[in-house]
Structure 1
Amino acid sequence: MHLKVIRIEQGKNSTLSEIYLNNLLICYGLEDIPRTKKIPGSTCIPAGRYKLGFNRDGGMNGNYYDHFPKLHKGMIEIMAIPGFNYVYVHIGNTHKETAGCLLVGMGYISEKGDYRLTQSVTAYKKLYALLVELMMKGEVFVEVTQLRE
């Protein structure tokens, strides 16, 4: 099973993407912008193919368990990104909430030269449930693309 993050638009501080699971559009994604020199917590994930895994440590994991006790099995972490640690798929609406991670939403709007996701909780619960089901059966990878020209 294959998750694809296809970057489609660049804002001043945000990168908008479409997220597909087995070639079906599931939701939209939002990250920071690409940078030639990484700024921790403010740089998007480098294009590439990465394994997904569960991270069951840390405060974010506890917060999500408190909010979604029947759904939450651990934070979905995008693993082994060179120079990056603790990169999660999570809830949020603007680049200010990414901290270098991938936010998800059911829609988006453009405002003041940047992108904002809408219905993030709905998208998270939908994508999370699908990914957990697949990850319990075997390895799942995400392919992150460059911004299309």
Structure 2
Amino acid sequence: MKLVLHRTVKSARSTEGFLEVDGRFQSYTLEPTYREKPGIPVSVWKVMGKTAIPVGTYSVDVTFFNKPKYYSPVLIDVPGFAGIRIHIGNFPKDTDGCILVGTKLGTDKVVNSKIAFDALMQHFDAARGNNEGVQITVMDDWGAAPNLAAAAPQQLVAAAAANSKASRTATVT
């Protein structure tokens, strides 16, 4: 499965964009502030927990996320970063250096993150069932717009409704 994260807008607080799965629009994205300086080591421009990851292509796995206790995708071997996940959240403060997904995008926020996340996880479940690897390409695509005709955000609502809440939440006793 191939994911592409298109970064489209950068502000002082966040980086907005959209995610495609196998060439089809999946969700909007929110990342921390874009600070990348090509050719300069990550350690020079990174602010811990508040910096979007470098552009590139990364392998993705699904592992248990101990905070707040559910399974989520984790990007592997991101230069200068560790534990970068795609997870639920709405605002820059929720990113903790990671990628948030939502069905709608506002200034420095995504909306309906849980719905978008559950719909995305259905793709991961299918890939796992097919023994298919997953990669994500993160690219700067400033000003680009998603092809909503390929898959409108409203379709995420229907997809998520088919997915039970219990299938994504782990109970720790």
TM-score (norm 2): 0.72
Amino acid at match of 1:54: V
Question: Match of 2:142?
Answer: 148
Q: What is the correspondence of 1:1-149 to structure 2 with a 5 Å cutoff?
A: 1-35=1-35, 36=37, 37-56=45-64, 59-60=66-67, 63-64=69-70, 74-110=71-107, 115-136=108-129, 137-148=131-142
Which of 1 and 2 has greater Rg?
2
Q: Distance in 2 between matches of 1:135 and 1:82?
A: 25
**Structure with the largest fraction of strand:** 1
User: Does the CA contact (< 8 Å) of 2:10 and 2:34 recur in 1?
Assistant: no
| Paired-residue identity, % | 27
Q: Distance in 1 between matches of 2:125 and 2:5?
A: 17
Structure 1 moving runs of 4+ over 6 Å? none
What's the RMSD between the two structures over aligned residues? 1.5
Structure 1: gaps (5+ residues): 65-73
CA-CA distance at 1:59 after TM superposition: 2.0
Q: Distance in 2 between matches of 1:86 and 1:145?
A: 19
If asked which structure has higher relative contact order (CA below 8 Å, sep 6+), I would say 1
TM-score (norm 1): 0.83
Structure 2: gaps (5+ residues): 38-44, 144-173
Aligned length: 134
